[in-house]
């Protein structure tokens, strides 16, 4: 049976500035310099979690200090036109990107007109190629002056963020409908503050809870500020939700699921009720509960799953993740979904099966409006560096050559026909 997606369904990809642009100068750039050596040493002695012939080449790359330094990256900052043309040639009609705050406001309160113009050009190019822009204001990196003041802990963080958002709302308001205030504030808080493995490595439950609190308030205030300037803007954030599966539906597993859902999936969203026009869902994780967490079968794992437990490929999970968001009664855009797959052996399968899950959710009345794959290009995967390959398009970081992977063509077929075989 063939399923046709709703008319106007958005198809495309998502990215973030620091992960593709090259030559950014922010808190991450400095942190990378000071950690590259340590990460490369750790990789040298690391054992894979799942046996795979890929491990040798991954380990080799991961053992190079240069793997951990974002550097000039894929130079998307200068090659965005070529990259958007690629997206267009792959049948996409939308593209999510982020603005690099440290470029726009390199010094406190001093906004750089040239950089504002740069992103205006980016937006205009997207529009001229019929790619609906999804603009993310903040995808985790901070200008250095703000880092010096304590980052999100600065007493002025909220007002700085609003000033930055208002500047961009004035600059791009006529051209951008979809605004994402922040990417995965919950993951950022978890990684930077609860387990403390990302900058600023402030580890502690108190720091974590406080970070969430700050980001909740900042999102709400930013929503209100942008709405004042742009009443018709569609504003939301990108939320990472996990599908917690209560295995065999036992009472204990159901109780554990309910607790995990409440904290991981719903807490942030509940706290910002009334302050988002759509839900942006980033779906990557499945967590099977069987008298304990992470009892996954791991029948399919991505390249990241060779390294860490949580990267099982579980396409059915997207159906459940969507169903579980339906009670919010808001349009849902899948603002990220993807996998690290350097040999491109699982990507086509994973996308196809996951889109069947989207179709199933739509058939049951869930208001899904778009699917944005992570990512168009291979990119810099934070503290893992360059070795994980998330792109529909492969990047040779030496020559900057882009090569379309086969799976991109499978996805293209769905994008241009707006249909899928169930
Ligand atoms: C983040 C991206 C990241 C992707 C793959 C998401 O949680 O928003 O920045 O690259 O996951 O790990």
Residues 192-204 have pLDDT tens digits of 999 999 999 999 9
Give the residue-averaged pLDDT of 286-314: 92
Percent of the chain's residues with pLDDT above 70 = 100
Query: What pLDDT score does 51 carry?
Result: 81
CA terminus-to-terminus distance, the chain: 5
User: What pLDDT digit, counting tens, does each position of 361-402 carry?
Assistant: 999 999 999 999 999 999 999 999 999 999 999 999 999 999
Instruction: Choose which residue among 264, 339, 381, 386 to substitute to test ligand 1 binding: the one with the highest number of ligand atoms within 8 A of its C-beta.
Output: 381
Instruction: Choose which residue among 312, 374, 386, 388 to substitute to test ligand 1 binding: the one with the highest number of ligand atoms within 8 A of its C-beta.
Output: 374
Q: What are phi and psi of 387, to 5 degrees?
A: -65, -35
The Cα 288–Cα 297 span in angstroms is 8
Q: Is 187 in the pocket of ligand 1 (CB under 6 A)?
A: yes
Give the residue-averaged pLDDT of 212-239: 98
> Mean pLDDT across the chain, nearest whole number?
97
CA of 308 to the centre of ligand 1 (A): 14
Q: What are phi and psi of 122, to 5 degrees?
A: -60, -45
**14 close to 92: Cβ distance less than 8 angstroms:** no
Query: What pLDDT score does 230 carry?
Result: 98
CA of 137 to the centre of ligand 1 (A): 15
Give the residue-averaged pLDDT of 148-163: 98
For the entire predicted model, the pTM comes to 0.98
The Cα 384–Cα 25 span in angstroms is 19
Q: Has residue 307 got a pLDDT over 90?
A: no
Query: What pLDDT score does 53 carry?
Result: 83
CA of 19 to the centre of ligand 1 (A): 9
Atom of ligand 1 lying closest to residue 187 CA: 7
User: What pLDDT digit, counting tens, does each position of 62-106 carry?
Assistant: 999 999 999 999 999 999 999 999 999 999 999 999 999 999 999
What are the structure tokens assigned to 162, written together? 């609003």
What are the structure tokens assigned to 379, written together? 């990119």
Q: pLDDT tier at 50 (50, 70, 90 boundaries)? A: confident
What are the structure tokens assigned to 178, written together? 């979809």
Cα 17 vs. chain centroid, distance in angstroms? 11
Q: Is 242 in the pocket of ligand 1 (CB under 6 A)?
A: no
Query: What pLDDT score does 281 carry?
Result: 99
The Cα 69–Cα 29 span in angstroms is 7
Query: What pLDDT score does 277 carry?
Result: 98
Q: Has residue 310 got a pLDDT over 80?
A: no
Query: What pLDDT score does 354 carry?
Result: 99
User: What pLDDT digit, counting tens, does each position of 343-367 carry?
Assistant: 999 999 999 999 999 999 999 999 9
Q: Has residue 144 got a pLDDT over 80?
A: yes
Query: What pLDDT score does 306 carry?
Result: 86
DSSP structure class, residue 72: T
Query: What pLDDT score does 16 carry?
Result: 98
> The dihedral of CA 191, 197, 201, 203: what is its sign?
positive
CA of 344 to the centre of ligand 1 (A): 18
The Cα 367–Cα 83 span in angstroms is 30
Query: What pLDDT score does 360 carry?
Result: 98
What are the structure tokens assigned to 60, written together? 């080799």
What are the structure tokens assigned to 314, written together? 């579980």
Cα 196 vs. chain centroid, distance in angstroms? 19
User: What pLDDT digit, counting tens, does each position of 162-187 carry?
Assistant: 999 999 999 999 999 999 999 999 99
Q: By CB neighbour count within 10 A (0-12 exposed, 13-18 middle, 19+ buried), where does 401 fall? A: exposed
Count the neighbouring beta carbons within 10 Å of the beta carbon of residue 216. 18
Residue with tokens 């593709």: 20
Pairing label, strands 234-246, 279-289: parallel
Q: Is 183 in the pocket of ligand 1 (CB under 6 A)?
A: yes
CA of 190 to the centre of ligand 1 (A): 13
Percent of the chain's residues with pLDDT above 90 = 97
CA of 282 to the centre of ligand 1 (A): 8
Q: Has residue 52 got a pLDDT over 90?
A: no
Query: What pLDDT score does 133 carry?
Result: 98
Q: Has residue 309 got a pLDDT over 80?
A: no
Query: What pLDDT score does 102 carry?
Result: 98
Query: What pLDDT score does 266 carry?
Result: 98
**DSSP element (H, E) containing 128:** helix 113-128
Residue with tokens 């942008």: 226
Bridge partners (DSSP) of residue 132 are 94
- Going from the N-terminus, what domains does the chain have, and what CATH number goes with each? 2-421 (3.20.20.80)
Residue with tokens 């051209």: 175
Q: 190: closest CA among 120, 274, 285? A: 285
User: What pLDDT digit, counting tens, does each position of 315-344 carry?
Assistant: 999 999 999 999 999 999 999 999 999 999
DSSP structure class, residue 301: B
**DSSP element (H, E) containing 97:** strand 94-98
């Amino acid at each position: 049976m063939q399923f046709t997606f709703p008319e106007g369904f958005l198809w495309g990809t998502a990215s973030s500035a620091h992960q593709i642009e090259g030559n950014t100068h922010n808190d991450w750039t400095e942190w990378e310099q000071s950690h590259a050596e340590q990460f490369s040493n750790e990789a040298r002695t690391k054992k894979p979690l799942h046996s795979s012939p890929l491990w040798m080449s991954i380990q080799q790359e991961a053992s190079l200090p240069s793997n951990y330094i974002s550097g000039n990256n894929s130079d998307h900052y200068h090659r965005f036109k070529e990259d958007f043309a690629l997206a267009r040639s792959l049948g996409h009609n939308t593209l999510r990107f982020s603005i690099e705050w440290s470029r726009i406001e390199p010094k406190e309160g001093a906004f750089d007109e040239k950089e504002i113009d740069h992103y205006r050009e980016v937006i205009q190019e997207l529009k001229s190629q019929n790619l609906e822009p999804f603009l993310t204001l903040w995808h985790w990196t901070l200008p250095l002056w703000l880092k010096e003041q304590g980052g999100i802990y600065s007493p002025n963080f909220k007002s700085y963020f609003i000033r930055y958002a208002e500047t961009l709302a004035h600059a791009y308001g006529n051209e951008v409908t979809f605004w994402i205030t922040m990417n995965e504030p919950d993951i950022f808080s978890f990684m930077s503050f609860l387990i403390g493995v990302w900058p600023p490595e402030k580890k502690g439950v108190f720091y974590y809870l406080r970070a969430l609190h700050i980001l909740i308030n900042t999102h709400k205030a930013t929503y209100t500020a942008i709405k004042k300037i742009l009443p018709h803007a569609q504003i939301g954030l990108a939320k990472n939700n996990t599908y917690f599966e209560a295995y065999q539906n036992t009472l204990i597993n159901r109780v554990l699921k309910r607790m995990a859902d409440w904290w991981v999936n719903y807490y942030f969203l509940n706290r910002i009720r009334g302050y988002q026009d759509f839900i942006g869902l980033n779906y990557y994780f499945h967590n099977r509960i069987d008298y304990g967490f992470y009892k996954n079968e791991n029948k399919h794992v991505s390249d990241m799953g060779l390294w860490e437990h949580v990267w099982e490929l579980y396409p059915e999970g997207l159906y459940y993740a969507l169903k579980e968001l339906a009670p919010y009664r808001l349009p849902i855009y899948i603002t990220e979904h993807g996998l690290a797959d350097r040999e491109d052996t699982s990507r086509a399968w994973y996308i196809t099966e996951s889109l069947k899950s989207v179709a199933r959710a739509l058939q049951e009345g869930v208001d899904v409006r778009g699917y944005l794959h992570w990512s168009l290009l291979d990119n810099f995967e934070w503290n893992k560096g360059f070795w994980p390959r998330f792109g529909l398009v492969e990047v040779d970081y030496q020559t900057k050559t882009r090569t379309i992977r086969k799976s991109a063509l499978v996805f293209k077929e769905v994008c241009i026909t707006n249909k899928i075989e169930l």
